């Protein structure tokens, strides 16, 4: 451990803030035979620096999920300026749907994943009779009129510390289903509804299941109090559907 810390003293710890359109990628995390966001950034880093570097992301977004403010960090031997790293990475990323929006040299103890205090996600729903071509890549389309008041009542049941067993996918490997959601909300911008969730961490597909459940309430298939029943049931099969990944956006990471 001491030797490891000494080695790190001679390296630069670099924080990246990253935007990406998730549609063409098989998620954030590196996979040998798949195109991923982590993989493309690491390729660009090698082309830029000549170093084999592994980056640590704050959130491992699924295939098709987008980001406005994903964060990652890595250690680099060479002493490039923040400006050089920003320009170099964006140049080597070329036409990829990934861009580095900010580069910052940070303290050696900073870790994009483990020092994050909260993460903010958005889920976008376009509520109109006709779908939107421009909004289509970043939102799902619901043509039926939604009961906004009922969904606003329901979403507040998610705030606080709960057992979210009914709101996690069967593939979830988290040790505990207990999560604490700090902030929730629904922003309305003309025909677009933006569901907002802020927490230190989320379970696998939790947000997409919570939104699917809220939309069942918005369609007046269920009452807002259904959320409380689902908490007690701890049964995923009773909650709403898992909504498509394309509506989900990682807005930012708070440190």
Pair (80, 177) in one structural domain = no
Tokens describing residue 179: 């999560």
In a domain, 199, yes or no: yes
pLDDT-derived band at 2, boundaries 50, 70, 90: low
Coil vs helix vs strand at 13 = strand
How far is Cα 216 from Cα 223, in angstroms, rounded to an integer? 9
Residue 4 pLDDT: 46
Name the β-bridge partners of 20.
67, 98
Name the least confident of 29-33, 46-50, 169-173, 201-205: 169-173
pLDDT, one tens digit per residue, over 181-200 is 999 999 999 999 999 999 99
In a domain, 112, yes or no: no
Tell me which residues are annotated as active site. Answer: 62
Tokens describing residue 129: 């009779």
Q: Is 136 left (phi over 0), alpha (psi -120 to 50) or beta?
A: alpha
Q: Is 77 left (phi over 0), alpha (psi -120 to 50) or beta?
A: alpha
In a domain, 115, yes or no: no
Domain boundary among 62, 80, 106: 106
Domain residues for the domain of 184 are 120-254
Q: For residue 255, is pLDDT > 70?
A: yes
- The percent of residues above 90 in pLDDT, for the chain, comes to 91
Number of domains observed in the structure of the chain: 2
Tokens describing residue 82: 């923040």
Pair (162, 39) in one structural domain = no
User: Helices marked H in the chain — which ranges?
Assistant: 2-9, 37-49, 82-93, 148-155, 206-218, 226-233
Rounded to two decimals, what is the model's pTM? 0.93
Pair (82, 145) in one structural domain = no
Q: For residue 8, is pLDDT > 70?
A: no
How far is Cα 202 from Cα 151, in angstroms, rounded to an integer? 20
């Amino acid at each position: 451990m001491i030797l490891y810390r000494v080695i790190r003293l001679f390296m630069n710890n670099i924080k990246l803030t990253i935007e990406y359109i998730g549609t063409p990628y098989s998620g954030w995390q590196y996979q040998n035979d798949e195109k991923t966001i982590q993989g493309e950034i690491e390729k660009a880093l090698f082309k830029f620096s000549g170093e084999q570097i592994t980056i640590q992301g704050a959130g491992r977004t699924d295939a098709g999920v987008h980001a406005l403010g994903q964060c990652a960090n890595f250690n680099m031997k060479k002493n490039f300026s923040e400006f050089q790293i920003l320009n170099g990475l964006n140049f080597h990323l070329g036409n990829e749907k990934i861009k580095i929006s900010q580069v910052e040299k940070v303290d050696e103890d900073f870790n994009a994943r483990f020092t994050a205090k909260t993460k903010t996600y958005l889920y976008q729903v376009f509520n109109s009779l006709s779908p939107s071509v421009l909004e289509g890549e970043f939102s799902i389309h619901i043509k039926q009129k939604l009961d906004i008041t009922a969904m606003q009542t329901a979403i507040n049941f998610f705030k606080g510390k709960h057992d979210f067993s009914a709101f996690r996918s069967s593939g979830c490997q988290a040790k505990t289903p207990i999560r604490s959601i700090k902030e929730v909300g629904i922003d309305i911008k003309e025909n677009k509804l933006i569901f907002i969730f802020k927490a230190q961490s989320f379970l696998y597909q939790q947000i997409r299941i919570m939104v699917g459940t809220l939309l069942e309430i918005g369609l007046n298939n269920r009452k807002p109090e259904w959320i409380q029943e689902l908490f007690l049931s701890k049964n995923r099969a009773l909650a709403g559907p898992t909504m498509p990944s394309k509506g989900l956006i990682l807005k930012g990471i708070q440190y």
